[in-house]
């Protein structure tokens, strides 16, 4: 290869490197830390700043946000900026672990309508009275996994009972579960301080046959599980459910033709 061609090749390699290499610009935002996802984690922003104590006066780095004054309005802006839906939690005390770099913002005061965390008021870049044990975090709605629904059995004999469990990731505990049929008016509601609840349907009849789903309600938003089918059978072949002691009684009652009454 001629010298001129070599130089041209080197130039092209340099241009390609500059185009594809990651070089975060000032104002970027990300969620990091232990257990973080794209839409939940420790809030970190990428900023350029001057350091007059150093010969190299201009720095750029990722840094954290202090939890002083950190609230849902601030989290709302972060979630909006990241296209992650609404804010479910504004977390403090390094919930997602402690960052290691500069503490960028303190006393963040967003109105909630800003499009970027950069637009919110704060004490001034890198001006703070915090430590990394106060790192702020957010949980945005897009991270809320669908609640899951599980049936003790997909099939239950008329007159018996069935246990249905609704659950959601432990991070989102403290909401309300609603068990409902996808058609009809059947609906039961249970608030939960943990991440799951059990609904017991007693004395099941044929109106209970159908598709069920769990809804999870958190900060007025509702999230649906996929539906599952519960079949109510006439046979007394107990494949699931509970209420074994009632089996004989139910058998007698069933012979007398069951009434189709919704008893729940």
User: Residue 103 forms beta bridges with which residues?
Assistant: 64
In the complex, minimum distance from the CB of residue 106 to Ca ion, in angstroms, rounded to a whole number: 4
| 106 makes contact with Ca ion (CB under 5 A) | yes
Q: Does 119 bind Ca ion (CB under 5 A)?
A: no
Pick the piece of the chain touching Ca ion (CB under 5 A) from 13-21, 77-85, 99-107, 247-255. Answer: 99-107
Strands 210-218 and 221-224: antiparallel
Beta carbon of residue 125, minimum distance to Ca ion (angstroms, whole number) = 14
Residue 165 CB-density burial (10 A; 0-12 exposed, 13-18 middle, 19+ buried): middle
Nearest position to Ca ion, beta carbon: 68
Shortest CB 134 distance to Ca ion, Å:
8
Residue position matching structure tokens 């009809």 = 184
Whole-number minimum distance, CB 94 to Ca ion, in Å? 15
Number of chain positions touching Ca ion (CB under 5 A): 9
The sign of the torsion formed by the CA atoms of 127, 132, 134, 139 equals positive
Q: How far is the CB of 3 from Ca ion (least distance, A)?
A: 60
Rounded Cα–Cα distance for residues 119 and 214 (Å): 39
| CA pair distance 100, 116, nearest whole angstrom | 23
- The answer to the question of residue 74 lying near Ca ion (CB under 5 A) is yes
Q: What is the CA radius of gyration of the chain?
A: 28
Cβ-based nearer residue to Ca ion, 43 or 108: 108
d(CA 262, CA 256): 18
**Least distance in Å: CB of 87 to Ca ion?**
12
Closest distance between Ca ion and the C-beta of residue 123, in Å? 7
Q: Is 161 in the site for Ca ion (CB under 5 A)?
A: no
Residue 201 CA to residue 158 CA, distance in Å, equals 11
Q: Which of residues 128-147 bind Ca ion (CB under 5 A)?
A: 129
* Segment lying near Ca ion (by CB under 5 A), choices 19-27, 71-79, 146-154, 194-202: 71-79
Residue range at the interface with Ca ion (CB under 5 A); choices 31-39, 72-80, 92-100, 243-251: 72-80
Q: How far is CA 212 from CA 117, 149, 172, 178, in A?
A: 41, 8, 22, 10
* Segment 198 to 257, residues that bind Ca ion, using CB under 5 A: none
The smaller minimum CB distance to Ca ion, of residues 69 and 97, is found at 69
Cα separation, 21 vs 154, in Å, equals 53
Q: How many helices (H) and strands (E) does the chain have?
A: 3, 15
Using an 8 Å Cβ cutoff, are 147 and 215 in contact? yes
Q: Which is nearer to Ca ion, 120 or 156 (CB)?
A: 120
| Other beta carbons less than 10 A from residue 249's beta carbon | 11
69 scored as a contact of Ca ion (CB under 5 A): yes
Q: Kindly tell me which of 103 and 230 has the beta carbon lying closer to Ca ion.
A: 103
Which spans of this chain sit near Ca ion (rule: CB under 5 A)? 68-69, 71, 74, 106-109, 129
């Amino acid at each position: 290869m001629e010298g001129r061609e070599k130089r041209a090749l080197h130039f092209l390699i340099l241009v390609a490197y500059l185009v594809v290499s990651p070089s975060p610009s000032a104002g970027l935002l990300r969620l990091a830390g232990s257990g973080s996802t794209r839409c939940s984690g420790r809030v970190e922003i990428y900023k350029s700043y001057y350091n007059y104590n150093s010969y190299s006066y201009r720095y750029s780095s990722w840094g954290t946000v202090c939890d002083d004054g950190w609230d849902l309005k601030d989290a709302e802006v972060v979630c909006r900026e990241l296209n992650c839906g609404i804010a479910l939690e504004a977390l403090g005390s390094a919930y997602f672990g402690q960052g290691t770099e500069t503490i960028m913002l303190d006393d963040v005061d967003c109105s909630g309508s800003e499009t970027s965390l950069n637009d919110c008021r704060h004490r001034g870049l890198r001006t703070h009275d915090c430590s990394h044990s106060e790192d702020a975090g957010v949980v945005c709605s897009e991270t809320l996994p669908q609640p899951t629904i599980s049936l003790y059995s997909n099939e239950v004999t008329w007159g018996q009972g069935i246990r249905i469990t609704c659950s959601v990731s432990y991070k989102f505990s403290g909401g309300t579960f609603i068990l409902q049929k996808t058609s009809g008016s059947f609906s039961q509601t249970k608030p939960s301080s943990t991440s799951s609840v059990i609904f017991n349907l007693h004395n099941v009849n044929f109106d209970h046959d159908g598709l069920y789903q769990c809804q999870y309600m958190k900060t007025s938003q509702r999230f649906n599980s996929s539906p599952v089918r519960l079949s109510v059978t006439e046979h007394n072949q107990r494949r699931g459910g509970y209420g074994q002691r009632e089996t004989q009684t139910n058998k007698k009652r069933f012979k007398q033709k069951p009434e189709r009454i919704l008893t729940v």
